[in-house]
A = this chain, B = another copy of it.
Amino acid sequence: MKITCSKTELCNALRIVSKAIASKPQSPILSGIFMKTTENQLELQATNYELSFISRLPATIEEPGQMTLAGHYILEVISKMPGEQVSLSLPVGEKMVTIQSDKATFKLLSMEAAEFPQIQPISGNIHFQLKDALLRKLIQKTVFACSNEDSRPVFTGCSLSIKEHQVMMVATNTHRLSVMQTQIDESQGNINIIIPAKILSELAHTLNSDVPQPITVTCSPNQISFQTPDTYMSSRLIEGQFPSFDNIIPASFATHVKVKRELLAQSLERVSLISRVSNYNVVKLYFTDGNIHLSAHDPEVGNADDDIPAELNGPDLHIAFNVDYLKDVLRSMDSEVIRIGFNREISPAVLQEEDTDEFLYIVTPVRTTF
């Protein structure tokens, strides 16, 4: 095998696939990145059996072939190469791969390419397309709300449902719920799946192309893949039933608040210096017209109190939350001003962006004394 390609493009492709290498691979070959030539491309693969990533880049193929290189080395070596182009070669029957760029030459011991479990694209019977910007938005507004605890698998993923022109992604850890729904131009049939948070996070990182492009999604009963012209990512799906949440979305609110997102975020950041000390990470809020009073208390450290301006409609309200559940959602919102709806101090609150109902976040208060 002998190829030449752009150093920058090879680094990008290596960065994408290397995210599928487990920190403790099940077998030595899974610590490697498999490379093979196609007609005028170099294809890179890595897998930990749960996630499987493929990335392709243009390459001049002088001799077709394949090789597997240790994943943690190859990205560092390529990124430190002096030239703009880099060439990789492995003569038939040899073990040392030669990597050359400008006047620098590395010879690295390769792994046995034939041992690498090549990724088989999943052959599902469900196919649909989503625009990359839309998919990124669906992920970024929901994936942070997933649970990290494996004990209840359905909460470690995001529920994706498509019904004709309506697409919705939902995530929850049972204490907070994040819902993003929007319209799509082309009807894509009916879909209901739960996708692991892990692949969605990695996917969101790669969806940063300047040129808008459609993502082709394929599902089999227990797997999903996301495909662009350059990359392919597949994962198992999470089995189970995502809970119905329609009945927990309050139909109306007694108190409506409008507040500048950045002001609230900074104030929460401040008072959380005290609340993070305790186990429950509690911030207390007191909403009145014109003002939100935020406070946190820890008997061994002290108190924090802060006030920020806000607009209020309805009765005043004392309420307390896990401060992280508020900080997380404010980071994922985009509008300058956000809306918050409340009923009672023990009822869930709802956060939304100022001018759209597409995104909705429900958070359960913490019971405390005021």
Contact = CB atoms under 8 A, between A and B. Distances in A.
Contacts of A266: 80, 82
A301 interface: yes
A302 B104 contact: no
A73 B109 contact: no
Contacts of A205: none
A106 interface: yes
A330 to B, nearest CB: 15
B107 A302 contact: yes
A176 B131 CA distance: 59
A301 B270 contact: no
B106 A274 contact: yes
Nearest to A266: B82
Given A103-B308, A307-B103, A308-B103, A302 B270 contact: no
Given A73-B301, A97-B302, A109-B301, 9 more contacts: A76-B273, A80-B266, A82-B267, A103-B306, A103-B307, A104-B307, A106-B302, A106-B305, A108-B301
Interface of A: 70, 73, 76-77, 80-82, 96-97, 103-109, 266-267, 269-270, 273-274, 300-308
15 contacts: A77-B273, A77-B304, A80-B266, A80-B273, A82-B267, A96-B302, A103-B308, A104-B304, A104-B306, A105-B306, A106-B273, A106-B303, A106-B304, A109-B300, A109-B302
